[in-house]
Amino acid sequence: MDTTSDSADSTTPRTADAEAAADGGPLAGQIVLIAGASRGLGRACAIEFAAAGAYVVCTGRSTRSAPTHHEPADLTLERTVDEVEAQGGHGEWHRCDHTDPVQVEDLVRDVVDRHGRIDILVNNAWGGHDHHDQPGGEEVWDEPLDQFRAMLLGGAYSDFVTSMLTLKLAMAPAGKGLILTSTWHTPEPPAWLPYESSKAAKNRLVYALGYHLQPKGIPAIAVAPGWMRTELMEAKVPAEELAGNTESPRYAARVMVALATDPKVQRFSGQVVDVGELAVAYGVTDLDGTQPQPNAGRFEPSRALPPHPEG
């Protein structure tokens, strides 16, 4: 596990900056752990949570010395922290494979030891497209058999490991916290089999976790954006195909910040919430001032959690 401040060579803990982050904003003084922060929605969350006053701990596998992608350039944790600081925020990065419980436990213990707590966890680690990013063939049985395993490991399993260890070592002892998980609606008719199935596992994990955490008052919420113009998407998809059908990752990140500042956020626990719908409810806009609604009418709203016998 690597810890850094301004460069990959520095390992100085940034507690002073964590204190500086408490100067202002609705999340002033909050410690936010963002898994999968080297690009896309994770990077956007780091920027937006830091802008709201939080101190962001950015984690993932991609660093400048060992990037997971070479094109586009600098999809790394260091770049994310650079962007956070360029906009006046504060944070640090740690290299961590969230499918490895040993690395995740080391990470969580280190953050708690240095900062005292973790207030918010954003589960956004992925890697499910590392080997295949398209359906495997004409027939459903043509899928490579390792594809579903990769997506389960990179998605639901990494969420499970990170949530369990963060709860055990940070949130449960503190008696408070918030878990936000990025996901995808499972629309009708179903699309790519391993992808849809892996996202359904993430969503059911949040539902079950939300149920079991009711007595603790710790919400677990799955947040579903539309089609985002991430760095990789913009590199692979023609601009004319993206135009009018997409949103920036900052849109979903702003909705996550709005959830984190909502005193009644518990009402969403266990549910898959839609970014477009919540943006309207919270008055959140994308970078261009719009409120895209790409999922309108394409999914069934999540059911509320049944009451837990312990309250």
pLDDT of residue 295: 85
Average pLDDT in the 97-126 region? 98
Mean pLDDT of the chain: 90
Do the beta carbons of residue 54 and residue 32 sit within 8 Å? Answer: yes
- Per the listing, tokens 């049985």 go with 141
* pLDDT at 113 (0 to 100): 98
Going from the N-terminus, what domains does the chain have, and what CATH number goes with each? Answer: 3-132+158-282 (3.40.50.720)
More confident: 47 or 8: 47
Q: Locate 44 and state its tokens.
A: 């956007």
Please report which residue ranges of 261-311 form alpha helices under DSSP H.
275-282
Model confidence at 6: pLDDT above 70: no
Q: What's the pLDDT score for residue 134?
A: 64
Q: How confident is the model at residue 278 (pLDDT cuts 50, 70, 90)?
A: very high
**Nearby residues of 91 by Cβ (< 8 Å), 6 or more positions away:** 14, 17, 46, 50, 55, 56, 57, 58, 80, 81, 84, 85
What are 181's strand-pairing partners? 123, 222
Host H or E run for residue 180: strand 178-182
4-18, 107-121, 251-265, 275-289: the lowest-pLDDT one: 4-18
Which of 80-84, 232-236, 241-245 ranks highest by mean pLDDT?
80-84
ω before 294 within 30° of 0 (cis)?
no
Q: Residue 85: what pLDDT?
A: 98
pLDDT of 239: 84
* Average pLDDT value for residue range 108-134: 88
CB–CB of 261/26 below 8 Å? yes
Residue 1 has pLDDT above 90, yes or no: no
Q: Is the pLDDT of residue 27 over 80?
A: yes
Tell which residue, 35, 17, 218, has the closest CA to residue 115.
17
pLDDT for res 245: 82
Q: Could you give the strand order of the β-sheet that contains 272-274, starting from the edge strand earlier in sequence?
A: 3-4, 90-95, 55-60, 31-35, 120-123, 178-182, 220-224, 272-274
pLDDT-based confidence at residue 306 (cuts at 50, 70, 90): very high
3-state secondary structure of 112: helix
Instruction: Residue 263: name the closest of 25, 26, 22, 19 by CA.
Output: 26
Reported as a pLDDT band with limits 50, 70 and 90, residue 44 is very high
Write down the residue that tokens 């055990």 correspond to: 168
